[in-house]
Structure 1
Amino acid sequence: MPAREHLPAAWREVPVLDVVIPVHNEEKDLGPCVARLRDHLVRTFPYPFRITVADNASTDRTPAVAAGLADSVAEVRHVRLDRKGRGRALRAVWSASDAPVLAYMDVDLSTDLNALLPLVAPLISGHSDLAIGSRLTRSSRVVRGPKREFISRAYNLILRGSLHARFSDAQCGFKAIRGDVARVLLPLVEDTGWFFDTEMLVLAERAGLRIHEVPVDWVDDPDSTVHLVRTAADDLKGVWRVGRALAVGALPLDRLARPFGDDPRDRELTGVPRGLARQLVGFCVVGVLSTLFYLLLYSGFRTFTEAQAANAFALLVSAVANTAANRRLTFGVRGGDRAVRHQAQGLVVFAIGLALTSGSLAALGAASGDPAHSTELAVLVAANLAATVLRFLLLRAWVFPDRHDTPVPPHGTARADDPRNAR
């Protein structure tokens, strides 16, 4: 890390690091947290720093505690927001901060503070644009229950399969970002809650930003107020929203001039990605979500129509969504070129699936007369599994074939306007 005299002049006039602690009803933990964090920074961080308490709509004594800390400790300031949401608090404080490096951590300090300097050092030096603490690397030391461990790993596996994320831990409450990057990136992040972190990281990767990962030691807080099921459900909704936006080209990352350079995958995968294993993972994730979507639609349609019509309507709607998702997420096709043709071919694949599932329903009806609804669903699931295998083969070989005639620029090609070249 550079010595203080070698820092840019503007950095000597403001805190180099602004650490944000988003809180909601944390009157008991806030004081000890700030005291411990300040003591650690005084001992280990060689540059000016600031600690910002972002109180988002607390209803207990948290605002009074935060105001008292801001009055008594020179490095502490307090920001009050009248609406809840960790993402909303971080966006508000980071967007207004004058510090060149911005960070945040959870108030319970579950992450060992010894990882803070390794987290922000690559951002201060200009080596990286964002940095995240990871609980899922081999060298991380984590103490938490099996339920949280399973949910965390399953969630990050979904991100890798559906959004092709390469970072290992989306939700660890220990992250940092360069101030200039935040001013460009944050206006594109829609979520205001817990999915804020994931969306920010996915967009950062797509914008070609460099994300640095730091293994952390992390101990679960047994008194955490995070509602796991509700948070997981909101996160899955966010994954679907971002994935759908990427699939239809709704995000501006592919249309705007990127000040930080292209995503290497955009250069490598101009048409269709060639990795079978990667495609299988993406196809399976999209297939699971599509099947759940199909079953929900079928159950809804079945309440007012007969089985064959409900099956046809549900398959048609889910097939359009499935083709769009596989087009972008599994086979990496961007933009509107050939989109109509791909959907038409997808409908042919849909017709094959309709024939398989309708035939299964017809056979079931002939065998048992008036089968139970649960039996219908079981038969449809089995038929859809068979149709899924055939669908992948047709999508890969016919709808989205590997286009070897597409010229691929070399991996080392750099943009002339990439500011990283000037660092």
Structure 2
Amino acid sequence: MSLSTLPSQDAEPRRVSAPVLDVVVPVYNEETDLEPCVRRLRGYLVEHFPYRFRITIADNASVDSTATVARMLAGRYPEVAAVHLPEKGRGRALKHVWTRSDAAVLAYMDVDLSTDLGALLPLVAPLISGHSDLAIGSRLARGSRVVRGAKREVISRGYNLILRGTLAARFSDAQCGFKAIRSDVAERLLPMVEDPGWFFDTELLVLAERAGLRIHEVPVDWVDDPDSRVDIVATALADLKGIARVARALSTGRLPLAALREQLGRNPAGLTGQLIRFAGVGVASTLAYLVLYALFRAGLGPQWANVTALLVTAVANTAANRRFTFGVRGTGGAWRHQAQGLVVFAIGLGLTSGSLALLHSVTASPARPAELAALVLANLLATAVRFLMLRVWVFRS
């Protein structure tokens, strides 16, 4: 992604059609806090942000005068825009604005500005440079400074532990209202995000992580808003339902995350990544094979020990490469992949059995180390053939 590095603010601020950054402030019944929030945010951006920007107020069906205040601010400041949605939902508002924005980087923050604005430039800089795909402010990362009550602290940490246990999430803070995403990533990722409410953030991050996208975390200074109107119980129940729904979607392979990896070029299953992961799986499989062969050799003889050890490790090898090397998840196509993996196994069997037959034709009673050496060499050749066939046939995109 190539962006102009020219400063955005002239002596006379002017409206621009394509800002580098679009900061969305979702609001619901915030007639009192909205104006000081926007004035403070705009003042910070004018003074400290070196690119063109826009602030978009996304009103979620407010029933007070929030929409009037938003229109007033949009009329007063060229960099401010106002959008009114007839339905509630923070996720719905963000999705609506982000999918229609022409900015290169899309961000959002809560209207209470609990997060110190000094973290904004570190948040979006990796996205502007193209280094990362998403960025999140984290109140749980090392270096963050947080002021909030014990109840919210326990809930926040407990929720993130649940995410790690159920969805294997590796990001540290799903709920901090301070996030950004590159527009090209949002264009492809947002259609997969279904939640219109508070779980939107979590779902976005989980899908991004599973798609192999790069998530940048910024430790933030954060002060709890004592006037927060979030219904903690209702939000927690909705989040748990969302976790169950996303877990089901991931387990069935319903979401086209592998295609997203290919489109965005962050594919950990690209050739270099595939080779690294395949090598790791191969080392583990070879060690398991040699152990099994040594165990079976005494009772079954060299050929049957080779067949049995290869068969056991082949099934495990195909499953491991399916998930870790080529990023295929869910049960769809699993049996077909295993059947094709057995064909690849048969080729490996031919190579290793042929090496044993060749060794025994040369010497009637070869030493055990000679047998193992012949098998290692044959396995190296079989490994190269296996990788090629898995890539171009079994797990082709």
TM-score by length of 2: 0.66
Are 1:158 and 2:162 matched, yes or no? yes
Whether the 8 Å contact between 1:269 and 1:408 is mirrored in structure 2 is no
Change in 2 beyond 3 A, CA 1:162/1:262? farther
Consecutive unaligned residues of structure 1, counting only runs of 5 or more, are: 275-327, 343-404, 410-423
After superposition, the Cα gap between the structure-2 partners of 1:219 and 1:262, relative to the gap in structure 1 and judged at 3 Å, is same
Match of 1:334 in 2: 330
Q: Which blocks of at least 5 consecutive residues in structure 2 are unaligned?
A: 9-15, 283-322, 339-382, 389-397
Query: Do the aligned partners of residues 200 and 64 (structure 1) sit closer, same or farther apart at CA in structure 2, a change above 3 Å counting?
Result: same
Read off the aligned partner of 2:59 and give its amino acid letter.
Answer: D
The counterpart of 1:107, out of the listed 101, 107, 111, is 111
1:78 corresponding residue in structure 2 = 82
- Structure 1 partner of 2:349: none
Task: Tell me how far apart the structure 2 counterparts of residues 140 and 250 of structure 1 sit (CA, whole Å).
Answer: 36
Distance in 2, Cα, partners of 1:256 & 1:48: 29
Deviation at residue 408 of structure 1 after TM alignment? 7.6
Runs of 4+ in structure 1 displaced over 4 angstroms? 265-270, 337-340, 405-409
Name the CA distance, whole Å, in 1 between partners of 2:25 and 2:73.
13
TM alignment of 1:216-295, pairs within 5 A: 216-254=220-258, 258-261=262-265, 264=268, 267=274
Quote the residue 1:4 is aligned against. Answer: 5
CA RMSD for the aligned pairs? 3.2
User: 1:66: which partner in 2?
Assistant: 70
- The reply to whether residue 44 of structure 1 matches residue 48 of structure 2 is yes
Identity %: 66
Aligned residue number for residue 121 of structure 1: 125
Q: Is the 8 A contact 2:198 2:235 kept in 1?
A: yes
- 1:334 maps to a residue whose letter is G
Counterpart amino acid of residue 121 in structure 2 = L
User: Structure 2: how far apart are the matches of 1:6 and 1:29?
Assistant: 29
Alignment of 1:203-218 (within 5 A): 203-218=207-222
Separation in structure 1 between the aligned mates of residue 267 and residue 5 of structure 2, nearest angstrom: 33
**The one of 175, 188, 192 aligned to 1:171:** 175
Please give the secondary structure, in 2, of the residue aligned with 1:209: coil
Kindly provide the CA deviation profile for residues 343-389 of structure 1, in whole angstroms up to 9, marking residues without a partner as x.
xxxxxxxxxxxxxxxxxxxxxxxxxxxxxxxxxxxxxxxxxxxxxxx
Question: How far did 1:147 drift?
Answer: 1.1
- 2:70 counterpart SS class: helix
Confirm or deny: 8 A CA contact 1:207 1:258 kept in the other structure: no
- Counterpart mapping for 1:11-22 below 5 A: 14-22=18-26
Shift of 1:6: 10
Measured in 2, the distance between the counterparts of 1:108 and 1:75 equals 20
In the alignment, the residues of structure 1 paired with residue 258 and residue 248 of structure 2 have an alpha-carbon distance, to the nearest angstrom, of 14
Alpha-carbon contact 2:139-2:221 (below 8 Å) kept: yes
Give the TM-score normalised by the residue count of structure 1.
0.62
Q: Is the 8 A contact 2:7 2:50 kept in 1?
A: no
Supply the AA of the counterpart residue of 2:213: L
- Could you tell me which amino acid in structure 2 is paired with residue 73 of structure 1? Y
Contact 1:119/1:132 (8 A) holds in 2: yes
Say which SS state the counterpart of residue 258 (structure 1) adopts. helix
Aligned residues: 289
For each residue in 1:294-328, what CA deviation from the matched residue of structure 2 results, as whole angstroms up to 9, or x when unmatched?
Answer: xxxxxxxxxxxxxxxxxxxxxxxxxxxxxxxxxx9
Question: C-alpha offsets along residues 102-126 of structure 1, whole Å, 9 cap, x if unaligned?
Answer: 1100000000000001101111111
Larger radius of gyration: 2
**Rounded Cα–Cα distance in structure 1 between residues aligned with 2:216 and 2:154:** 24
**Equivalences for residues 290-305 of structure 1 within 5 A:** none
SS of the residue 2:264 aligns to? coil
User: Would the aligned equivalents of 2:91 and 2:200 in 1 still touch at CA under 8 Å?
Assistant: yes
Give the Å deviation of 1:262.
Answer: 5.4
Q: For residues 142 and 42 of structure 1, what CA distance do their matches in structure 2 show? A: 26
Supply the distance in 1 between the matched residues of 2:251 and 2:51 (Cα, whole angstroms). Answer: 43
